[in-house]
Amino acid sequence: MDINFLDFEQPIAELEAKIDELRYVSDDNEININDEISRLQGKSEELTASIFADLTAWQISRLSRHPQRPYTLDYIQHIFTDFEELHGDRHFADDAALVGGLARLRGIPVMVMGHQKGRDTKEKILRNFGMPRPEGYRKALRLMHMAENFNLPVLAFIDTPGAYPGVDAEERGQSEAIAKNLFEMMKLKTPILCTVIGEGGSGGALAIGVGDQVNMLQYSTYSVISPEGCASILWKSADKAPEAAEALNMTAPRLQELGLIEEVIPEPLGGAHRNSEAMAQILGDALEKHLKSLQSTPLDTLLEKRYQRFMQLGQVND
């Protein structure tokens, strides 16, 4: 069992392990087994394609939180140049669970920000598992206002289990911090382009998710509550998470069908974590394309459209 692979990815892991072994052997020996390696590689790709062709919502939910999945800073490093991280909310602290700063996207100066999770235990704790406290949201808002002032578009990457549910977060007004962002983002006089890159967890995600366009990576999720949380409340058992994941309609293609997001950005075969460079290339292209179209829209039209985008969400019987 390879811990870098999820259970349904294990057959791929086994095949990949075999290929690695053969490579090791072929380095040592004169015998040419390249044919065998490429045959196995073809097989591995086929296997991946067949497994990934029919994923359940629960499997996708777990992919969106895959330990190997690229995080905000990975994308910033691969897609952007001249990144200058800007720290702190100017009131209380710097929240490492939400990062942001100035950067260039293929030459265009932008304000980029996003939730940041950690890789190893130490970093996970530093990043608080990607769960911001109020100071994180206040830092994000400060950077957005700066972006507005200097006519820079805002690019937000969403990847969080949710806003941090802790005593200190409540003391410093977690609710107010989130609410304030929803309010201010709605009237921010500069384009806002949001992308869900992993886990779109409830209010903590929405707090940097009010934009002119909201796009999602193919295997990311966006939901009002985690499948586990939903299952334990409505089914009274966290074991029902797979059912809850299905019922919540949290996958990117489904949310696009429902008109809740604009575009699904395709991931490389086997998911973003199997080829993060290819993913960065695809994401970079998408960001550049959408950003140019948003920047060419007059500001008044943009703001009116942003307002209407949210007004029309949610059907009722009159």
Measured N-to-C along each axis, helices 299-311 and 174-186 cross at an angle, to the nearest 10 degrees, of 130
Nearest to 105 by CA among 153, 148, 159: 153
- Convert residues 131-170 into a mask of x (bound to other proteins by CB under 8 A) and - (unbound): --------------------------------xxxxx-xx
Q: Tell me which residues in 193-222 interact with other proteins (CB under 8 A).
A: 202-203, 206-207, 209-210, 222
Q: Which of 17, 125, 234, 278 binds other proteins (CB under 8 A)?
A: 234
**Contact positions with other proteins (CB under 8 A) in 257-286:** 258, 260
Residue list 61-100, contact with other proteins (CB under 8 A): none
State how far Cα 198 lies from the chain centre: 3
Tokens of 197: 């890159």
Neighbours of 199 (CB within 10 A): 27
Q: Which is nearer to other proteins, 243 or 262 (by Cβ)?
A: 243
Helix axes 134-149, 174-186, angle to 10 degrees: 20
Told to check if 300 binds other proteins by CB under 8 A, we report no
Closest approach of other proteins to the CB of residue 192, in Å:
12
Does position 107 interact with other proteins (CB under 8 A)? The reply is no
Distances from the Cα of 218 to the Cα of 59, 249, 282, 293, angstroms: 13, 14, 11, 22
Give the nearer residue to other proteins in terms of CB position, either 206 or 302.
Answer: 206
Q: Which of 136, 93, 135 is nearest to 114 (CA)?
A: 136
Query: Residues in the site for other proteins, rule: CB under 8 A?
Result: 163-167, 169-176, 178-180, 182-183, 186-187, 202-203, 206-207, 209-210, 222-225, 230, 233-236, 243-244, 247-250, 255, 258, 260, 307, 310-311, 313-318
